[in-house]
Amino acid sequence: MAIARKRQVSLVDTKYYHCISRCVRRAFLCGVDNFTNQSYEHRRGWVESKLLALANVFCIDVCAYAVMSNHTHLVLYVDDKKAKRLTDKAIIQRWHRLCKGTVLTNKYLQGQELSKIEWLFLNETISEYRERLANISWFMRLLNEDIARRANKEDNCTGRFWEGRFKSQALLDEAALIACMAYVDLNPIRAKAAATPETSEHTSVKIRIESATAGKQPKQLLRFSGKPKKQMAKGLPFELKSYLELVELTGRCIREGKAGYIESSTLPLLQRVNITPENWLKLTTQFSRVFHGAVGRPASHGGYCEHLNRKRRANVSNCEKLLA
């Protein structure tokens, strides 16, 4: 039985979430449909452009993504502190970039005088907008609805384009986060849609590599801020160079079909998050198959389940085997 979205997201425990959306129609989201020989490759650009545009408006950052032929993978970071920090005017302006807003929000931005009652309703609306801008469900809703409308129009049909719900997984610690990001970035290689990370079109790893060659980090994605420390800037708690090396080496093992031992000395990131090389290959090739709920070391599950008032701890046995 599906778990309500509000019982999957606990920002007290983690701000990182893995989201998956799948198509329900036989027709492809992207790529070439072998049945009709029609190409939908251009739709990958739709998804990527909309995704990065939404991240520029929402208080949600994109850590990793891959746009596949019939599904998308996203790793998102919810910056709820930023949503609370923004001014009322900034909140309304951001929401108006997504939707038309209300009569009151438009009057406010135009500098028109409001009555006490109007101010009361306006403040309620602003609080609602502030909450939505840090809400994964609203982010995914606006992403998927836009793509569905455009695809339906192009296909001259109506009805569902995506599954009724997107899947969401909480990533409770660094080990779960880095494994899931690598799993997402390596999706095209496992599907034989690309030979190397730098040629994986419409993925976050391609953007990161292109920027890295110029000595920069992409502005569209959540940046790597280096090794974890007490006082550190917002960003992924890893080194960019180590992550890219990790993805490349893992991808090489997957492509060559090796059963699974990588010298730990060549993968410093694995040593730090304490995952054995054998388990690392399993995590980065079977993440969605192995885990069907929150992911993290067993110790991370306690607080997460307590905050969401959940008795069952899904994935605990697999987490003990692969992340302990």
Q: What is the pLDDT of residues 224-272, one digit of tens each?
A: 987 766 666 789 998 888 898 888 888 877 655 544 433 444 455 555 5
Could you give the CA distance from residue 267 to residue 274 in angstroms, rounded to a whole number?
A: 11
């449909």: which residue's tokens?
33
> Tens of pLDDT along 9-22?
788 889 999 999 98
Domain end point (choices 172, 198, 218): 172
Report if residue 313 sits inside a domain. Answer: no
Q: Is residue 153 domain-shared with residue 227, that is, in the same domain?
A: no
Report d(CA 274, CA 81) in Å as an integer.
30
Q: Are residues 139 and 181 in the same domain?
A: no
Same domain, 23 and 77: yes
The DSSP 8-state label assigned to residue 296 in this structure reads S
Query: For the purposes of burial, counting CB atoms within 10 Å of the CB of 148, is it exposed (0-12), middle (13-18) or buried (19 or more)?
Result: middle
Q: Is residue 245 part of a domain?
A: yes
11 lies in some domain:
no
Q: Is 76 helix (H, G, I), strand (E, B) or coil?
A: strand
Q: Which domain holds residue 252?
A: 173-290
Question: Final residue of a domain: which of 172, 203, 218?
Answer: 172
Tell me if 158 is assigned to some domain: yes
Asked if 55 and 185 sit in the same domain, the reply is no
pLDDT at 262: 36
Residue 205 is predicted with a pLDDT of: 93
Average pLDDT score, the chain: 83
Do 200 and 156 have their domain in common?
Answer: no
Are 33 and 177 in the same domain? no
| 62 strand-pairing partners | 76
> Would you say residue 310 lies in a domain?
no
Q: How many domains does the chain have?
A: 2
Whole-angstrom distance, CA of residue 48 vs CA of residue 204? 9
CA torsion, points 170, 8, 71, 15, in degrees to nearest 10? -40
Distance between CA atoms of 139 and 293, rounded to whole angstroms? 20
**Strands (DSSP E) found in the chain:** 16-22, 60-67, 71-78, 167-170
Q: Does 284 share its domain with 246?
A: yes
Taking alpha carbons only, the member of 139, 151, 162 closest to residue 53 is 139
Q: What's the CA gap between 246 and 232, in Å, rounded?
A: 22
The string of pLDDT tens digits covering residues 98-151 is 999 999 999 999 999 999 999 999 999 999 999 999 999 999 999 999 988 998
State whether 157 and 22 are in the same domain. yes
For residues 159 and 210, membership in a common domain is answered with no
Give the single-character DSSP code of 314: T
